[in-house]
Amino acid sequence: MEKQATIKDIAQALQISTSTVSRALRNATDVKPETKAAIMALAEELNYQPNQLALSLLKKQTHTIGVIVPNLDYVLATMVKGIDEVALEAGYTVMVCQSNESYGRELLNVSRLNASLVDGFIISVSSETKMFDHLKKLQSNKKAIVMFDRITSELSAPKIILDNEDGGFQATQHLIDQGYSRIAILAGQDTLGISNQRMDGYLKALKNNKIKVDKDLIIHCDFNQDYAYLATKELLNMRKRPDAIFTISDRMAIGAMLAIKEKGLKMPEDIGLVGFNNEPVTALTTPQISSVEQPAFEMGKATAKMFIELLHNDADMSDREIILKPKLVIRESSRRLLTSKK
């Protein structure tokens, strides 16, 4: 393998100092034009390439963004694509790590990315993360941080989020409008912000329509198809079963659908179903599943733009927050009255 030419090689060949070569390559004005021309010509002949790591250390910038997400499911992967598109256009490279919903792994990812000299972090916290000292320490060391999707109020940082409460409200109100009245919700862990916000929307719709809250119809479980399947089986075995189910993720909706079909019930006639995220699979099932769509790609782009602005803005941006709106996509699994009106 051919050895990479260095500043020292150029200096020795021209019998000048390395500092003169270095200044010429930086286009300094204190180098004679004829000397600079000779240096530039030889550098091109030798295919000299500057040491990017050394330059990065000198400038204290690597133009690299550390991105940490709980997982790379459809929604978060789409957000990361949005982040990467904006980052690439702005001359940044994205390094992505998954916490797999583990606080310990989140700590490890932060440590390793920080050791890689990233310019800052874009992070969506894990479901296990309850303490945020690791992120506060980054901020105290002047690292830029932007939070998205799953955030915490304990950290003063710019945030990009979805109006999850409105999404939960839209889903539940739609089911009520379709004539369903005993509506269950498969929520996530009760310590997870986005789960509680979506449930707040569910509760708001019930209250607005004077439907009494039945705690037996509120089930907390992991964002997991198998857990949702088992939880739905329990709901359907109740003496007075629900006539509709809202799940706060599409993975949970698939699990619920499997249990509903196993029970021999038909959607939307016997029971309605609405999921959340509008993943492609919801349009491929039979019946197709209604779902709340979040603008994941746009959220990723907005997050990256916020991060780059933070890097180049001396003003305090810690209270900056962008809230994106969801949209309900109505399909066969819940379109009871709309079908009959056609």
Average pLDDT over residues 268-283: 97
Cβ contact 31:16 at 8 Å: no
The 10s digit of each residue's pLDDT in 235-248 is 999 999 999 999 99
How far is it, in rounded angstroms, from Cα 218 to Cα 222? 13
How far is it, in rounded angstroms, from Cα 208 to Cα 84? 41
Q: What is the pLDDT of residue 40?
A: 86
Average pLDDT over residues 118-132: 95
The 10s digit of each residue's pLDDT in 199-239 is 999 999 999 999 999 999 999 988 889 999 999 999 999 99
In this structure, the number of other CB atoms found within 10 A of the CB of residue 315 comes to 8
Q: What is the pLDDT of residue 30?
A: 84
Average pLDDT over residues 154-168: 97
Both tokens assigned to 280: 């492609």
Domains in the chain (CATH in brackets) are: 7-50 (1.10.260.40), 62-161+296-324 (3.40.50.2300), 164-293+328-341 (3.40.50.2300)
Average pLDDT over residues 94-110: 96
Mean pLDDT of the chain: 92
Q: Is the pLDDT of residue 271 over 50?
A: yes
Q: Tell the residue number behind the tokens 């915490």, with chain if given.
A: 152
| Cβ-Cβ contacts under 8 Å for 197 (sequence gap 6 or more) | 164, 165, 168
How far is it, in rounded angstroms, from Cα 81 to Cα 95? 12
Q: Is the pLDDT of residue 338 over 60?
A: no
